[in-house]
Amino acid sequence: MTPQLKIRDLELVVALHEEGTFTQAAKRVGITEPAFSKRLKLVEREVKETLFDRNYDGVTTTDSGRSFVAHILESINSYYRAVHEAHEAKHGQRHKLRIGVSAYLPANLIELLQSIELTLYKDLVIEIFTGLSSDLLVDLQQRRIQMALVISPTERSALTMQCISIDTFRIVVRQSHPLATRKSVMLADIAEYPWVFFKRSVHAHLHDLILRRMEEERLQPQIVHQLTHVDQVSALLTNDKIIAWLNPAGTEHVTNRGLVHIPLIDDRIRIETHLATLIKNETPLISEFVRKFVTRHKSLKPAEQLTLPIV
């Protein structure tokens, strides 16, 4: 690393490489787009290479940029590992796991995390942190947490993602709705009805995927309400035409309110729960915990997925 560059500068290069746009990358690292662009120009000037090709849709990482990212990930990970271990050494806490979980995951998954016991780590302490999936992945990369359970994440070059469960969305309607007696529905079936849909800030990837699938099927969504939490659903289903998007566990909050839920069948719209860890994971504790968690999870009945918001 040159004297002029900081870890923060390296992180913004990785963010732009993974996000593909200045807007999303700047949001991820928490600075304005002009400030982001200024720091990126400094990085490219210091390394004397063009790391990204700019275009109208965003940016494309150059060959030099991809090589640069591959090497700086090691520096970033080493830095945060050093900070983390120094902190633990100071407080005498060598057997602690900080685990991030997407908000509103099913309770049995969190209970399973807390029930794991490791023979070699009798004094293991588990701390649970909840948040948006995208924020948790950043926390993981910066070693503020050591693993995360996240929902339908986008790929990150520094992380490994292991899918542990897959489920479908549910379409929720009043009992007198024309679709109420259906065993399942497809996108074409719900296109003619007004939607109660989740806001993009809840989960951008799933939000955009659904709207993209509608466009591919040449269907037009009729979004009349956008919500952030399942408790708002029953109040918004005010007539026999409106439908709402929910996930399986979210339907538990509405089934006793005169509402029914129907599985949405689409081969690309899926709710996936992933266990995320750093690729450069050299800690036996983390490896052993992940192995035991995955083994225990497989032995149990597949858990239903999260409640809105899908974060």
- Could you write out the DSSP letters of every residue in 196-262? EEE-TTT-HHHHHHHHHHHHHTT---EEEEEESSGGGHHHH--SSS-EEEE-TGGGGGTTTTTEEEE
| Superfamily of the domain at 95-165+271-299 | Periplasmic binding protein-like II (3.40.190.10)
Residue 32 has pLDDT above 80, yes or no: yes
282: confidence class by pLDDT, cuts 50, 70, 90 = low
Tens of pLDDT along 92-129? 555 789 999 987 677 788 889 999 988 777 778 899 99
Q: Residue 62's pLDDT is what? A: 92
Consecutive H or E run containing 299:
helix 284-299
Q: Average per-residue pLDDT in the chain?
A: 85
Range 242-257 average pLDDT: 81
Q: Residue 87's pLDDT is what? A: 62
169-263 and 95-165+271-299 share a CATH fold: yes
Residue 208 has pLDDT above 90, yes or no: yes
Paired tokens of 288: 């052993």
Residue 207 has pLDDT above 50, yes or no: yes
Q: Residue 303's pLDDT is what? A: 45
Residues 230 and 246 sit within 8 Å (Cβ to Cβ): yes
Lay out the sheet containing 159-167: strands in order across.
Answer: 125-131, 96-102, 147-151, 271-278, 159-167
Q: Tell me the sheet residues that pair with 259.
A: 174
Tens of pLDDT along 74-84? 777 677 666 66
41: left (phi over 0), alpha (psi -120 to 50) or beta: alpha
Residues in the chain: 311
Where in the chain are the domains?
A: 7-73, 95-165+271-299, 169-263
Residues 193 and 241 sit within 8 Å (Cβ to Cβ): yes
Name which CATH class applies to 7-73: mainly alpha
Q: Residue 56's pLDDT is what? A: 76
Residue 305 has pLDDT above 60, yes or no: no
Range 63-79 average pLDDT: 82
CATH of 169-263, one of 1.10.3720.10, 3.40.50.300, 3.40.190.10, 3.60.40.10: 3.40.190.10
175: confidence class by pLDDT, cuts 50, 70, 90 = very high
**0.75 cut: is pTM over it?**
no
Consecutive H or E run containing 275:
strand 271-278
Q: Residue 141's pLDDT is what? A: 87
